[in-house]
Amino acid sequence: MTFLNRKYQDLTPYTPGEQADEEEYIKLNTNESPYPPAASVQVAVTKAAQKLNRYSDIAVEIVAKPLAQYLGVKEEQLILGNGSDEVLSFIFQGFTEKGIAFPDVTYGFYKVYSGLYQVDSTIVPLKNDFSLDLKDYDELPGTVIFANPNAPTGIYLPQAEICEFIERHPERLVVVDEAYIDFSGESMVPLINQYKNLLVVGTFSKSRQLAGARLGFAVGNAELIADLNRLRFSLNPYNVNNLTQAAGSAVLQAQDYVDQKIQETIEIREWSKQKLMQLGFEQTDSQGNFLFVKHPKLAGETLFAALRDQKILVRWFNQPRTKDYLRITVGTQEQMEQLLRTLKIILAEVKS
């Protein structure tokens, strides 16, 4: 017997990468930052803990103000959420009356939220090389959402192509999920004043070391943001808790630290690409904080399991187009050196 409403009985929930013991595993499976947040974050959170008897500020002022300034937008053009996942959920709940379209190989939550909100969704295959061609979305009605750079492929779509699509379809909402934009590429944020049908989603989880704090945002024209706030205030106005607000505020004051870690990650990513190529791996030109690789001699699942045996966790997506690939988060230099040593051993065993 079940008490669950019939319309939810066939829901397929999101499958997160596992959260393993870091003493035991090198964790390269969920695209978190391998670095702790700046020391000032801990101080700020400890201080905020003194005030946990009080509800959080629904305007999230201590984050919204400096973030709006950093992004060059007005505060009424910004909404903060409990992770960008929550903001994405509002988008799927609220802006999909004419349906929504997204790529076949992309962030798994788009499909999950389509199911949750029972949205009419169209899944559009990426090209053979995993690139995105927005012309494939021209004939569809409704909203379009994609990640740029995309995940798990890491491929970046040049801004000009997005602008052309937005201009061809002024009556359709275009949502660009920029979870990885800090690791390469040009953000669409400066264009929100120009395009009323553009919504840009961002997160503190990947480049800002706060995955566990849950802090994300969307930027768009004030009417779009007001509509998102209607949904937010109808569910949980206190969606960003006191500790997370303090953490987010401190992170924004430690931009130099954030920038330095981003730079390190980019350098390690490019170094790792070279080394993986020398080991015979094929890969996309990832612009995120992760790599998307396959080896001609080893199935993705085999490689995933072999790495797991050696206490290295990566992500394997068991789907037709991605099952030969692994998505490997860019860790610290030491972690990536360990990964490469391990891969070398695994590959030597295959060849012999």
Ligand X SMILES: *Cc1c(COP(=O)(O)O)cnc(C)c1O
Q: Choose the binding region for ligand X from 48-56, 161-169, 202-210, 317-325 (rule: CB under 6 A).
A: 202-210
DSSP result, 191-204: GTTT-TTEEEEEES
- List the one residue from 71, 85, 174, 258 that touches ligand X (CB under 6 A): 85
Residues contacting ligand X: total by CB under 6 A: 14
- List the one residue from 37, 103, 142, 216 that touches ligand X (CB under 6 A): 216
Strands 290-294 and 326-329, bridge-based pairing: antiparallel
Report the Cα–Cα distance between both ends of the chain, in Å, rounded: 54
Cβ atoms 339, 26 nearer than 8 A: yes
CB-nearer residue toward ligand X: 20 or 211: 211
Cβ atoms 69, 76 nearer than 8 A: no
Tokens 């808790």 -> residue: 241
Task: Tell the smallest beta-carbon distance from residue 171 to ligand X (Å).
Answer: 25
Task: Tell the smallest beta-carbon distance from residue 31 to ligand X (Å).
Answer: 6
3-state secondary structure of 295: strand
Residue 79: its H or E element: strand 78-81
Q: Choose the binding region for ligand X from 52-60, 77-85, 161-169, 313-321 (rule: CB under 6 A).
A: 77-85
Residue 96 binds to ligand X (criterion: CB under 6 A): no
CB-nearer residue toward ligand X: 203 or 265: 203
Residue 84 binds to ligand X (criterion: CB under 6 A): yes
Task: Tell the smallest beta-carbon distance from residue 309 to ligand X (Å).
Answer: 27
Range 253-262 contact pairs with CB under 8 angstroms and sequence separation of 24 or more: 253/40, 253/66, 254/37, 254/38, 254/40, 254/41, 255/70, 257/38, 258/38, 258/207, 258/208, 258/209, 261/33, 261/35, 261/207, 261/209, 262/182, 262/183, 262/207
Task: Tell the smallest beta-carbon distance from residue 179 to ligand X (Å).
Answer: 4
CB-nearer residue toward ligand X: 147 or 173: 147
Residue 260: its H or E element: helix 255-278
What is the C-alpha to C-alpha distance for residues 113 and 282, in angstroms, rounded to an integer?
Answer: 32
Residue, CB closest to ligand X: 83
- List the one residue from 147, 224, 276, 306 that touches ligand X (CB under 6 A): 147
Residue 83 binds to ligand X (criterion: CB under 6 A): yes
Residue 151 binds to ligand X (criterion: CB under 6 A): yes
Instruction: At 83, list the tokens.
Output: 């992770």
Q: What is the DSSP letter of 315?
A: B
CB-nearer residue toward ligand X: 240 or 298: 240
What is the C-alpha to C-alpha distance for residues 97 and 184, in angstroms, rounded to an integer?
Answer: 33
Task: Tell the smallest beta-carbon distance from residue 258 to ligand X (Å).
Answer: 15
- List the one residue from 33, 114, 203, 244 that touches ligand X (CB under 6 A): 203
What is the C-alpha to C-alpha distance for residues 210 and 313, in angstroms, rounded to an integer?
Answer: 20
CB-nearer residue toward ligand X: 191 or 211: 211
Task: Tell the smallest beta-carbon distance from residue 110 to ligand X (Å).
Answer: 9
CB-nearer residue toward ligand X: 37 or 83: 83
CB-nearer residue toward ligand X: 292 or 306: 292
Of 92, 154, 98, 96, residue with least CA distance to 126? 154
CB-nearer residue toward ligand X: 92 or 346: 92
Residues that bind ligand X (CB under 6 A): 31, 83-85, 107, 147, 151, 177, 179, 203, 205-206, 211, 216
